[in-house]
Structure 1
């Protein structure tokens, strides 16, 4: 299943879901996998995000707890219920964000790592920006390679049983992805950090979560050296 939190993302969610639908098609063509649920958690949305999700064929669930961590967990819980599945080791949860574009091989590569024994796959992202001081600062601080040290909720996959074992993402307005990855690694589940599933994410300077990715990008200004 694919879990996507969205907070007033009517302008960007459509493109995200088109990329997700493409990776689902690639997965089905390559492996014959049948049931895949794409679940969008509507995090207190007041715009047309729900309608965009429904037009793209995604399932939706209202998340009123507040915060991206709770929304991610709500998406996973409702996705499991939609598929009539328990949080077992054979259920894979792929996470991205509503302002992001996943590559066609995104799910195929995550599941390839899972088949090789990984309980969690931590991918890379690249911001959708060309040149400039901010991009230079980003490039100097991010080596997108195998075994990279980065964590992004926009590119993360794990077994449902692993997600459940560490208590899910938990409540939090930001950095819920980092905390989950830390707990998974501390619990000694097998994890892989890979650049084979690179996701493109928005480079907007003002995001939906205080202390989130947009704030990080703004902080790069003036840090080229």
Structure 2
């Protein structure tokens, strides 16, 4: 069954500053002509927030969940569960698109994932880019070298090794079959993808349609992409 509904899932912990940009980008993606007959809802799982994250999300039209777990895995899973219950259609007709509160999806992001779903893919695992780098000596170069180490030299399709909750899509039916996002404080996205591949689901790893993400070196989630950048920066003795 082809998706007739899309749920955008965004976990957020104290993200009042960056969330408006993330939601504006998602809103722009929902206006793509390819989605004219597709129902789209955005769910922000405000997890252990002590700022105005919930207010910001509500003002921009997102459905807002209040959690106190401070656990990205639980937050993404809660957002997915709420969306599937709210959309009022079968899991086979729902596509779950995951991004982050510190990221900005491109205008064709949802249309791209929908195209892949129509082509028979059950999950789309995308890449991320950073365009706003901190002033840390050679950090951008070092990151690009490591991140793109396995990219084919000839410019062909890249079945990359990365997994980012900021750029991930999965058919709700496949998501349910493998148990959804596990309640992990870090790596819930990787665990989900590993389970999909282990159980024989059709998973597309593609560098097409990347999502722009934050380069902050003191991230909200411990052990994620921000910590990776912080470790690279620390090699120059910038961070202690």
How is 1:28-47 mapped onto 2 (pairs within 5 angstroms)? 29-47=33-51
Please give the TM-score of this superposition, normalised by the length of structure 2: 0.87
User: Could you list the per-position Cα deviations for residues 130-185 of structure 1 after superposition, in whole angstroms to 9, with x for gaps in the alignment?
Assistant: 48411111110122663111110000000011111111111111111111100100
SS of residue in 1 equivalent to 2:43: strand
SS of residue in 2 equivalent to 1:220: helix
Name the Cα RMSD after superposition: 1.5
Partners of 2:13 and 2:70 within 8 A in 1: no
Match of 2:147 among 142, 145, 148: 142
How is 1:60-209 mapped onto 2 (pairs within 5 angstroms)? 60-86=64-90, 88-130=91-133, 132-143=137-148, 146-209=158-221
Q: How many residues align?
A: 220
Q: Which of structures 1 and 2 has the bigger CA Rg?
A: 2
Please give the TM-score of this superposition, normalised by the length of structure 1: 0.93
**How far is 1:54 from its partner?**
1.1
**How far is 1:194 from its partner?**
1.1
Unaligned runs of 5+ in 1: none
- 2-structure distance, mates of 1:38, 1:69: 17
Structure 1 runs of 4+ with >4 Å offset: none
Determine whether 1:21 maps to 2:33: no
Partners of 1:2 and 1:95 within 8 A in 2: yes
Partner of 2:154: none
- 1-structure distance, mates of 2:43, 2:83: 6
Unaligned runs of 5+ in 2: 1-6, 152-156
**How far is 1:213 from its partner?**
1.4
